[in-house]
């Protein structure tokens, strides 16, 4: 029986070399330009910026650090993906760090963060409210009703949340209650990606 990967101080398998997200709370906010995002830490310091590249057959979201240096890129694994996977590639090493796998459903918004080589689940991000998810999609309220997501580790235990806010621009608070078992960069990137994709 294969055991789920573990995260400890001696393992950097899922770290991104260009960024260090050490806090437990981040604010993700969409700019006036659609699908362009700014991520701030608990002190209000900009730690990441991301923007979807336009006119790409494969959806692509490059992220830069608060200083403007290349951080990582999130890129769709298939052309014009409706449901598929999105690889996070470290700009410093060129290596795939994790894969964000969207479990497509009309009623529930679920994502799984996976090991890029084995496919083993590392974390899940799932909508807390099935009815709200259905309303967002079926009634066309995706841009008006903020959603809420729970972050769980590979064993299904709660480790954090993504809370949408009522705002003229999409805004989310990403909170990591227990950072030992999930790759933070992947979760924060997912907060941007799921907003962009769920609001298409």
pLDDT in tens, 53-101: 876 657 788 999 999 999 999 888 754 444 568 889 999 999 999 998 8
Instruction: Supply the DSSP symbol for 169.
Output: S
Q: Which of the two residues, 139 and 23, has the higher pLDDT score?
A: 23
Task: Please give the mean pLDDT across all residues of the chain.
Answer: 78
**Over residues 107-118, mean pLDDT:** 83
Q: How confident is the model at residue 5 (pLDDT cuts 50, 70, 90)?
A: very low
In 3D space, the residue among 116, 113, 117, 118 whose CA is nearest the CA of residue 182 turns out to be 113
For the entire predicted model, the pTM comes to 0.80
What DSSP element (H or E) covers 174?
A: strand 171-176
Residue 164: alpha-carbon gap to chain centroid: 13
* pLDDT per residue as tens digits for the range 139-167: 555 555 667 889 998 889 998 998 887 66
Tell me the two tokens of residue 145: 């009703």
Confidence check: pLDDT of 2 > 70: no
Confidence check: pLDDT of 137 > 60: no
In this prediction, residue 164 carries a pLDDT of 82
In this prediction, residue 165 carries a pLDDT of 76
């Amino acid at each position: 029986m294969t055991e789920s990967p573990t995260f400890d101080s001696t393992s950097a398998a899922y770290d991104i070399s260009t960024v260090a997200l050490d806090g437990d709370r981040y604010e993700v906010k969409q700019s006036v330009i659609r699908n362009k995002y700014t991520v701030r830490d608990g002190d209000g310091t900009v730690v990441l910026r991301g923007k979807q590249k336009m006119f790409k057959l494969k959806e692509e979201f490059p992220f830069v650090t608060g200083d403007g240096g290349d951080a990582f890129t999130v890129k769709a694994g298939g052309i014009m993906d409706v449901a598929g996977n999105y690889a996070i590639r470290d700009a410093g090493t060129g290596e795939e760090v994790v894969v964000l796998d969207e479990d497509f459903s009309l009623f529930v918004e679920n994502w799984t963060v996976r090991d890029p080589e084995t496919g083993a689940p590392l974390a899940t991000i799932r909508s807390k409210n099935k009815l709200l998810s259905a309303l967002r999609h079926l009634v066309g309220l995706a841009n008006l009703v903020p959603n809420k997501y729970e972050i769980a580790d590979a064993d299904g235990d709660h480790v954090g949340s993504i809370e949408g806010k009522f705002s003229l621009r999409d805004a989310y608070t990403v909170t990591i209650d227990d950072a030992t078992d999930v790759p933070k960069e992947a979760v924060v990137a997912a907060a941007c990606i799921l907003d962009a994709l769920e609001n298409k």
